[in-house]
Structure 1
Amino acid sequence: MRKEASTNARNEADILRNCGMAYTLSVIGGRWKPTILFTLLNNGRMRYNELRRSINGISERMLVAQLRELEEDGLVKRIIYPEVPPRVEYELTPAGISTEPMLMCMSDWGNHQRIQKERLVDTSREISVS
C-alpha cells in the first residue's frame, strides 16, 4: 500500500501533471502495454483468447491486469456480448488508435539502437580476440 501524502507520491503527481512525456510513459509504459496496443493496431478487434495467443510469454493474469489499465486510461474498449458462453472482445478507442505514430517511432528507434549495440558488441569481441 502506498502513502498518498508521501513526498514520493506528491512528486510523482506533480511530474504527471506537468510533463506530457512522463504521463505518456505512465499510461503506455511497461513490458506488455506497447505489445498489446501494437497487436490491436495490427489486428483490429480481437477476442480475448486470440489476443492472449498472439502475445508470446504473457500470463493470463498479466494480460487481464494490463487490459484493465488500458481500459481505465481510455485506450482500449472492452465489448461484452450477452451470450452463453460469454464472449469478450477488445478494440482500440480513438485515443488508442492515436498511439500508432508514437509506437512506430519508438519501435524504429529501438530497432536502430539495438542494431547499433549489437555492432558495438561484435566490434569489441573482434578487438579482444585479436
Structure 2
Amino acid sequence: MTHQTVGHTPTGDGDGPLADCPDSALVPPGSEPRCPVDITLATLGGRWTPLVVREFLRRGQASYSELSAALPALSDKVLSDRLAQLTGAGVVERRRTPGWPPRVRYVLTAQGRALEPVVRGMWEWGTARREALARAPGPSDSV
C-alpha cells in the first residue's frame, strides 16, 4: 500500500524528490533507518534537537555555556544528550583546546551546515502556521 505525500502531486514515475520509500526501507524503531525522511528524523529526533541545530546554524560553533545561555529552558542533561546525539550523527564536532582549564567548543560540520534548508523550512512553515492560528477564530468567536 502506498500513500501520497501531502502537497505532492504524483508524477507517475515514482522517483520524484519525495518518492515513497518502499516498504522494505521502513524499519521498526531501534533499527538503522533507510528511508531519507526517517534518517533526517532520526538525526533531528528528540525535543530541543532542532533548536540546538538552529543555534549552531546561527553561530557556526559554540561552547556548552553559550548554548545553555541561548536555550535557558533546556536542562543541562538534555543539552548534554543532544550534543552527544549530534556529535554521533556527524552534525557537530567536539573540539577540545589544550590548556588549563581545558576548553571545549562544538563546531558545525559540513553535514550540519547541509541541514540549513531543513531548519529554514521548519522556520518558514512554523511562521506561516503561527500566523494562520492567530487569524483563526477562537472558540469564543464562533457565537
TM over 0.5: same fold?
yes
Query: Structure 1 residue 113: deviation in Å?
Result: 1.4
Query: Structure 1 residue 11: deviation in Å?
Result: 2.2
Tell me the distance in 2 between the aligned counterparts of 1:74 and 1:23.
13
Higher mean C-alpha displacement, 49-58 vs 70-79: 49-58
Per the alignment, residue 99 of structure 1 pairs with 115
TM-score by length of 2: 0.74
The runs of 4+ residues in structure 1 deviating greater than 6 Å are none
Name the amino acid aligned to 1:119: R
Per the alignment, residue 26 of structure 1 pairs with 42
* Change in 2 beyond 3 A, CA 1:56/1:121: farther
Tell me the distance in 2 between the aligned counterparts of 1:95 and 1:34.
14
SS state at 1:24 partner? helix
Tell me the distance in 1 between the aligned counterparts of 2:115 and 2:126.
16
Per the alignment, residue 12 of structure 2 pairs with none
Name the Cα RMSD after superposition. Answer: 1.6
Q: Which runs of 5+ in 1 are unaligned?
A: 1-9
Q: Which runs of 5+ in 2 are unaligned?
A: 1-26
Per the alignment, residue 125 of structure 1 pairs with 140
1:83 corresponds, among 83, 89, 99, to: 99
Q: In the alignment, does 2:3 pair up with 1:11?
A: no
Q: In the alignment, does 2:58 pair up with 1:48?
A: no
Name the amino acid aligned to 2:141: E
Mapping of residues 60-75 of structure 1, within 5 Å: 60-75=76-91
Query: Structure 1 residue 121: deviation in Å?
Result: 4.2
Higher relative contact order (CA 8 A, sep 6+): 1
Tell me the distance in 2 between the aligned counterparts of 1:119 and 1:89.
42
Name the amino acid aligned to 1:86: P
